[in-house]
Amino acid sequence: MKVIVCGAGQVGTSIVRHLVVENNDVTVIDSSPELVRKISDSMDVKAMEGFASHPDVLEQAGAEDADMIVAVTYSDEVNMVACQVAHSLFEVPTKIARVRHQSYLNPIWAELFSRDHMPIDVIISPEIEVGRAIFRRLHVPGAFDTIPLADGIVQLVGVRCAEDCPLLNTPLRQLTELFPDLHITIVGIVRGGDGFVPSSSDHMLAGDEVYFICETVQVPRVMAAFGHEEPEARRIIILGGGNIGRYLAHMIEEQRPAVSARIIEYDKDRAHLAAEGLDRTVVLHGDALDPEILEEANVAAAEAVIAVTNDDEVNILGSLLAKRYGAKKAMTLVNNVTYSSLITTLGIDVVVSPRAITVSTILQHIRRGRIRAAHAVHDDFGEIMEGEAMETSPLVGVPIREAELPEGVLIGAVIRDGQVITPTGETVIKPRDRVILFAETEAVKKVERMFSVSLEFF
């Protein structure tokens, strides 16, 4: 597949890394000579300096025979025009654009992105995607990540093993014996920053970040088995009243009437905008690092503090202050990836990465055929994928242990007629089953080839 990626920032670089590992033909465009040089030196791609919206630049990038353009520059307008030019002049089949400004996304202007006007196939809004991701994580106290799969029937959950986790030092094969009524598949473990797909003889250690797949209705029981029985947060303080903070507060008001939320916003105009657009949410104008403002927000009674300002340092320090003054849990938005591995050791419970969430959203649309969903897990560790098995698939009709899965791949669940099957080596996949599997990044292309017949891929 030939892909043009417009923008060599954090999101663009992550997307390129996924595409290059899978041996796609990738061309990157960015107006920054430094970013172009950096990505050209670190990856085997064609990197060009220029404005992605200019026709001559897209022509030099090979738009005439490109299969897809992914526009993720820092400018909404450049992203939109690049997709328009790619469509009108070069007939690029698939066009994906990151659009941040909420005015473009107002439902009353929905026709803007139709094929008759600005034909963009997929619009990605990082603020909305981040708001949704945080909202999902609020439902599963103790989890640092949750991803719904198979129309919400199944979930991938990420949980950090504490020192008192009851499941530590137990071979994974024994989990079924210890908890026969829990249908769970552990598909990935991150230890010391490095991820691996575990075997049945592996066991979990304190400090591990564990990813498991289970039926959604069983998530609370599985979390309890990991030692997490915290109640869902009912009193929430949001640090930052920008797009993410306001969107999150709207979702809480609409879908969680029993939850009370308060916003602390430093900018007076944004604070007024938030107050005018929300009904039940209390908006306080002030500095999230001011102890008096935190006290006024009653931070000591808060069950969760969610820091989503546009300043990483404010988010980190505000979260730590809030916990010091009594908040039970802190979820912190961090853009700078170098901070992510540091701040969990400081006492912050959940790190929210806009880059990882945006890349994950885009991956869902890069995968083709009958692959219904794809989500990046732990930066470049791997992907959780959901596909539909067809009659000619090599997975169909044989026990999973005989299916010769590539190394670094583990099937986490099979959905048949709306019922969830926790797979064993003897499970036989049937046509039309939905197969949910985890694949390390290096194995993704092999999985696609393995599914190419069954999923009518390419």
Where residue 452 falls among pLDDT bands split at 50, 70, 90? low
Query: Is the predicted pLDDT of residue 458 greater than 70, yes or no?
Result: no
Write down the pLDDT at residue 360. 86
Q: At residue 108, what are phi and psi to the nearest 5 degrees?
A: -70, -20
Strands of 199-267 (E only): list them: 209-215, 235-239, 260-265
Q: CB neighbours of 392 closer than 8 A, spacing ≥ 6?
A: 453, 454
To 5 degrees, how large is the angle CA 305–CA 311–CA 316? 45
Predicted structure pTM score: 0.87
CA 203 – CA 198 distance, rounded (Å):
8
Query: Is the predicted pLDDT of residue 106 greater than 90, yes or no?
Result: no
Residue 357: Cβ-neighbour burial (10 angstroms; 0-12, 13-18, 19+): buried
Looking at per-residue pLDDT, the higher value among 367 and 409 belongs to 409
Where residue 181 falls among pLDDT bands split at 50, 70, 90? confident
For 365-376, how does the pLDDT look when each residue is reduced to its tens digit (9 = 90+)? 887 657 778 888
Mean pLDDT of 367-389: 81
Q: Name the average pLDDT for the chain.
A: 90
Strand partners, 195: 190
CA 273 – CA 176 distance, rounded (Å):
52
The residue among 51, 49, 22, 50 whose CA lies nearest residue 36 is 49
The residue among 29, 74, 32, 35 whose CA lies nearest residue 55 is 29
Strand order in the sheet with 68-71: 46-49, 25-30, 2-6, 68-71, 94-98, 122-124
Query: Is the predicted pLDDT of residue 131 greater than 70, yes or no?
Result: yes
Mean pLDDT of 221-227: 92
Domains, the chain: 2-124 (3.40.50.720), 235-356 (3.40.50.720), 362-452 (3.30.70.1450)
**Sequence-ordered alpha helix ranges (H) in 256-290:** 268-277
